[in-house]
Amino acid sequence: MQESCQAKYADLIDELCQKVVQDGNGSLKACGADPRQAEADLLRLGELIVSRKPEEVKEVKEMHPALLKAAPPAKGEPSIFAYRLRRFVWGPFQAPGVA
């Protein structure tokens, strides 16, 4: 079971890396994020997902802080890619009620 979850995360990270490098809507650059650095961070995140060591949580929290500037969408609006990426990487570490 764990291996199939890891494989799904690996596939998702590969897909996200392609989108990050393209930065189709410019939302990464708009919040000051470098697409190549975001790609490197995603690849490292994939490694951390596999290793799952508690001492690596700090490293995840420090990944690519520029994405923290990505604003949540207005009510009824779709979220921009940078915000979705922010939620993917940092969502599990944010306090409840924080957008």
Sequence-separated (6 or more) residues with CB below 8 Å from residue 29: 23, 35
DSSP character at residue 83: H
Q: CA of 55: how far to CAs of 2, 25, 30, 47, in Å?
A: 20, 35, 32, 14
| Cβ contact 33:82 at 8 Å | yes
Q: Structural domain boundaries of the chain? A: 2-91
Q: Residue 76 pLDDT > 70, yes or no?
A: yes
pLDDT, tens digit, 9 for 90 and up, residues 39-54: 888 888 788 777 777 7
Cα Rg of the chain (Å, integer): 14
Q: What is the pTM of this model?
A: 0.62
Average pLDDT, the chain: 76
State the Cα–Cα distance between residues 14 and 25, nearest whole angstrom: 19
The pLDDT of residue 92 is: 55
DSSP character at residue 99: -
